[in-house]
């Protein structure tokens, strides 16, 4: 039996996922979490075989949660399930330790296949994501300026776009305010922006955030 933890900040999404997964007798949902901090606690207490993780959540995003889950459990098997298909999300999250990456538009059968695959120690990347990753490697492929950010810098950028200030980001990420300020200015410098409204416009343009979230 594969044990699974579902992490998504939308109750309706978690309910839908639980319903889909209940149709597979080889998978048991042992817990749910609505944000990153809760996911880390539930993972520690429940020790699931697989974590099904959304990226865009209040507070800690999927980047930081993936890192912390892998730090706590080096063999953690994490499937990213998200609406985000654009670079740099897939490559950065796979580099951070995710073992699977699917979009929320995938078929239910593919989701179940992915859970079984990563539970067996394999990687699983959805077909649409694999195609985008392959195309991004071709000579002359257009690049997102966000590709130049580290995963920690992307995390800080996402929190800035949630309206969080440096002290709040520092507390959430367990960093000093000075370190957060350094990351912030690195983000601004690499993206050639000077204030948060410019950062948000650029993020919307490259699909880093969705219009409906703001």
DSSP secondary structure letters along 68-128: HHHHH-TT-EEEEEES--STTHHHHHHHHT-SEEEETTS-HHHHHHHHHHHHTT--EE-HH
**What's the pLDDT at 213?**
41
For CATH 3.40.50.2300, the residue range(s) in the chain are: 2-136
The yes or no reply on domain 2-136 and CATH 3.40.50.2300 is yes
Angle at 104 between CA 138 and CA 33, to 5 degrees: 120
**What's the pLDDT at 96?**
86
**What's the pLDDT at 136?**
57
Question: Residue 62's closest CA among 116, 31, 102?
Answer: 102
Q: Do 67 and 96 contact (CB within 8 A), yes or no?
A: yes
How far, in Å, are 86, 92, 151 from residue 185 at the CA level?
Answer: 24, 20, 15
The per-residue pLDDT string of the chain (214 residues; one tens digit each, 9 = 90 and over) reads 999 999 999 999 999 999 999 999 999 999 999 999 999 999 999 999 999 999 888 888 888 899 999 988 888 899 999 888 777 788 888 888 899 999 888 999 999 999 999 999 999 998 777 766 665 555 555 578 888 898 889 889 989 988 888 999 999 888 999 999 999 999 999 999 999 999 999 988 888 876 554 3
**What's the pLDDT at 134?**
62
For CATH 1.10.10.10, the residue range(s) in the chain are: 145-213
Class of domain 145-213 as given by CATH:
mainly alpha
Q: What is the pLDDT of residues 40-67, one digit of tens each?
A: 999 999 999 999 999 888 888 888 899 9
């Amino acid at each position: 039996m594969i044990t699974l933890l579902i992490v998504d900040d939308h109750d309706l999404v978690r309910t839908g996922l639980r319903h889909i997964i209940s149709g597979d007798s080889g998978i048991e949902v042992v817990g749910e979490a609505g944000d990153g901090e809760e996911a880390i606690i539930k993972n520690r207490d429940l020790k699931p075989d697989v974590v099904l993780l959304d990226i865009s959540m209040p507070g800690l995003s999927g980047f930081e949660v993936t890192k912390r889950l892998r730090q706590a459990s080096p063999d953690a098997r994490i499937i990213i399930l998200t609406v985000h298909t654009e670079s740099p999300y897939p490559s950065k999250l796979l580099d951070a330790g995710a073992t699977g990456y699917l979009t929320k538009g995938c078929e239910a059968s593919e989701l179940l296949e992915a859970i079984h695959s990563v539970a067996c120690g394999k990687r699983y990347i959805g077909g649409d994501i694999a195609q985008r990753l392959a195309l991004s490697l071709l000579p002359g492929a257009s690049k997102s300026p966000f590709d130049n950010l580290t995963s920690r810098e992307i995390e800080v950028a996402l929190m800035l776009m949630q309206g969080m200030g440096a002290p709040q980001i520092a507390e959430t990420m367990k960093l000093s305010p000075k370190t957060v300020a350094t990351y912030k200015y690195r983000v601004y410098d690499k993206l050639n922006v000077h204030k948060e409204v410019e950062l948000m416009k650029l993020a919307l343009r490259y699909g880093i955030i969705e219009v409906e979230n703001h």
